[in-house]
C-alpha cells in the first residue's frame, strides 16, 4: 500500500517542533564523536574537542560541523542521537543547501556529508541501534518515519520516471526503505 508522505515543508515544520527543546545534556556531541573516531580518549585533544560541542541548542550548530564531523554519527550515544537528529534530518532534506554550496565553492573543502538515511535504515534490530534511538519520543519517531516515507516517495518517482523494474538495484533500495519504515512504525 502506498501512503502519501508529508510535503517537504510540512516535514520540516514537524522536525523543528519535535526536536525543539532537546538538550545534549551529558551525551556525546559531534566533536566528541570525532575525538572517539580518532581514538583520542583520555587526552587533552579529546577534552578540547568535547568542549567545542553545542549542548543547548542544536539549531546553533553550523552546517560545516556536519561535514567536519561526518563520522560522528556512528559514535553518538542515545542523548547525542536525540539532540542531533533534527539537524541531521534537515540536512538530509537539503534545508541548508545555500550554506553547503558556499562550502563547496572552497576548492580545499573535500569533506563528505553524513549518511543520515543509512543510519536510519541499517542494522536497526541490533542492540547498538536500539540503544542509540531509545530516547526518541513518539513525535521524534514519527519525524523519522515521515522522513523515510518522503525519501521513499522521491525514490519511487525517480524509478517510475526511469522505468525501474522489480529486482533492479533501485527496487532493492525501495525494499530497504520499506523495511526501515515498518521497523520505525512498530516503535511509535
pTM of the model: 0.86
Residues counted in the chain: 188
Q: From the centroid of its chain, how far is CA 15?
A: 12
Higher pLDDT, 57 or 161: 57
| pLDDT per position as a tens digit, 12-67 | 999 999 999 999 999 999 999 999 999 998 889 999 999 999 999 999 999 888 88
For cell 518517482, the residue is 157
Higher pLDDT, 154 or 97: 154
Closest CA to 144 of 120, 124, 115: 120
Residue 2 confidence class, pLDDT cut points 50, 70, 90 = very low
By CB neighbour count within 10 A (0-12 exposed, 13-18 middle, 19+ buried), where does 101 fall?
exposed
What 3-state class would DSSP assign to 170? helix
Amino acid at each position: 500500500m502506498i501512503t502519501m508522505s508529508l510535503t517537504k515543508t510540512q516535514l520540516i515544520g514537524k522536525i523543528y517542533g519535535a526536536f525543539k527543546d532537546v538538550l545534549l545534556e551529558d551525551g556525546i556531541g559531534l566533536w566528541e564523536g570525532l575525538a572517539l573516531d580518532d581514538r583520542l580518549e583520555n587526552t587533552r585533544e579529546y577534552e578540547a574537542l568535547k568542549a567545542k560541542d553545542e549542548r543547548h541548542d542544536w539549531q546553533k550548530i553550523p552546517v560545516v560541523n556536519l561535514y567536519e564531523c561526518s563520522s560522528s554519527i556512528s559514535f553518538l550515544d542515545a542523548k547525542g542521537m536525540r539532540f542531533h537528529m533534527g539537524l541531521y534530518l534537515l540536512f538530509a532534506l537539503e534545508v541548508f543547501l545555500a550554506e553547503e554550496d558556499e562550502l563547496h565553492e572552497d576548492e580545499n573543502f573535500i569533506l563528505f556529508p553524513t549518511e543520515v538515511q543509512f543510519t536510519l535504515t541499517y542494522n536497526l534490530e541490533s542492540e547498538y541501534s536500539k540503544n542509540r534511538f531509545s530516547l526518541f519520543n513518539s513525535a521524534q519517531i514519527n519525524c523519522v518515519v515521515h522522513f523515510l516515507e518522503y525519501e521513499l516517495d522521491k525514490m519511487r518517482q525517480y524509478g517510475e520516471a526511469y522505468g525501474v523494474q522489480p529486482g533492479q538495484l533501485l527496487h532493492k533500495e525501495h525494499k530497504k526503505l520499506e523495511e526501515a519504515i515498518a521497523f520505525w512504525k512498530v516503535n511509535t
